[in-house]
Amino acid sequence: MARTRISAAFAAILTFATLAVAQTEPPAPPTQPPPPTGTPSVLSDAASGAYERRESLPSVNIYLPEGQASIRLRKLIRNVLFESQIDYEFVNGDISTFLRYKYYARNYTYRIAVFDSIEFPDLASDDDQSFERVRGGLLLVGVPKNYNNRYFGLLQNDRLTFGDVNRPDDKKNNIYVKLGYQYGTQFDERMNAIVGEQRGRITPVLTAFREIGPQRTGFAAAVTKSAQVWTGDYSYTKLEMEGLHRFDLTSTSFVFSRLHVGTFLGRQELENRDNRCDAFEDGATIIDTDLDGDGDIESGERFRAWECYAIPQSELFRLGGREALKGISGNDSAIGTNEVHLTNEVFVPIFRNRDYKLWSLHWNTLYGIGYVGVGTVGFLSDQIADTKRLVVDAGIGTESALRFQDWDVYLSVVYAHPVRRPDDIDKGRGVRFSVRTVR
């Protein structure tokens, strides 16, 4: 276990340092993207590089209480972007590394990326031998119809390895193709993940410091098809959609509403699962079986609903977490093949466009926030319509913008608590916090 963590950390640091040394050419002069009201027939050079130049190297994102830090090192050389990224969770020791090569043409872009991610159990877990590792590569092609409409095609291969050799998805390959469409801003990380690369993205707690598309609306939809081709071990069809809209209450107060829907149009059930999958038809997600009769349920005697299907656990929909219901835990208690949730964030300014100085910090914006979310998740389609499975949470928070020398710093804090939830779905940690730097 220790050697695995050290090796992963050493590989990440070596990757980061190698890319930093290789990128010696000065960046291209900054340019401004075309205004959102314009609709050029093709993506201009300025628009193609706008998103990458928004976060010049390096950029840092910190997430608490998860204890995760994300550091990106980027270099734009003419029409090619090189990027190295390290995500490290200093509580559990989880580490992920990414290398990306992105080429900008006039009528399209393409990205080649490789990644290696290792996750360990929570510190409170009794399992000190388990780990989850995903390695893979991808090719992502984007074709802009105009500034606000984009089409995507993704080919990806994930190699899954687990410390628990009894897992049904251990040492398996997931090869899949994704076709996606996105309307609105190119700066929304969540929608970018739906139509393209789902790992290694910025995951802010709230929505305000994201640019929204024309008419304050964004939309993304994608169909993913996994096939048992070459070394592929899975076969399923996944549909995911999300819409975002901003409603202005006053000239300075507004509401962000975000609706997410996901389902598997096709899936296969695993064979030889001791017929225990039939027990999940009543909506349960975990079945404990005392096989040895000692009165204690061991880890090997706990059978989970997701083990019934030939779908990688990472591909299932999660109802809780930063990007879904914030008062619900993002662990395996609220996952499924069918999911829908709606979140609403009300922003009311406390002050705007000011310059309150605190040592070297210049504090210019502060919003108070009210949050409410509702949703449901399950492995059976009729569970989505079951009101007993409905989850509701609510909370309050704040978001602010500061400047430190040449850095813009965005601070987001939200406290959310479940108002209603089934007993088998765990509540979250309460407070979620993020720090994002932009230079």
The pTM assigned to this predicted structure is 0.79
User: For the residues of 370-408, what is the DSSP string, one character each?
Assistant: EEEEEEEEESSGGGTT-GGG-EEEEEEEEEEEEEETTEE
* Helix, strand, coil fractions of the chain, as percent rounded to 5: 15, 50, 35
Looking at residue 273, what is its pLDDT?
54
The reported pLDDT for the residue numbered 360 is 81
- In this predicted structure, the answer to whether residue 421 has a pLDDT above a threshold of 70 is yes
Q: What percentage of the chain carries pLDDT values higher than 70?
A: 76
Give the number of other CB atoms < 10 A from CB of residue 163: 17
HSE of 367 in the Cβ direction (CA atoms, 13 Å)? 24
Q: What is the dihedral of CA 319, 322, 323, 327, to 10 degrees?
A: 40
pLDDT band at 90 (very low <50, low <70, confident <90, very high): confident
Q: Which pLDDT score is estimated for 17?
A: 37
Q: For residues 298 and 282, what is the distance between their CA atoms, to the nearest angstrom? A: 23
Q: Which two tokens stand for residue 67?
A: 């204890």
Q: From the CB of residue 269, how many other CB atoms can be counted at a distance below 10 Å? A: 10
Q: Specify the range with the lowest mean pLDDT, choosing from 227-231, 390-394, 402-406.
A: 402-406
**C-alpha 62, offset from chain centre:** 14
Task: Name the pLDDT band for 8 (thresholds 50, 70, 90).
Answer: very low
The DSSP bridge pattern shows strands 407-420 and 431-438 to be: antiparallel
CA-closest candidate to residue 44, choices 175, 182, 146: 146
Torsion of CA 345, 350, 353, 356, to 10 degrees: -130
In tens, the pLDDT along 235-261 reads: 999 999 999 999 999 988 999 999 999
- The better pLDDT of the pair 214, 184 is held by 184
What mean pLDDT is predicted for residues 22-33?
41
Which residues have C-beta within 8 Å of that of residue 165, sequence separation ≥ 6?
none
Tokens representing residue 62 in the block = 């910190």
Q: Residue 6 is inside which H or E element, if any? A: helix 2-22
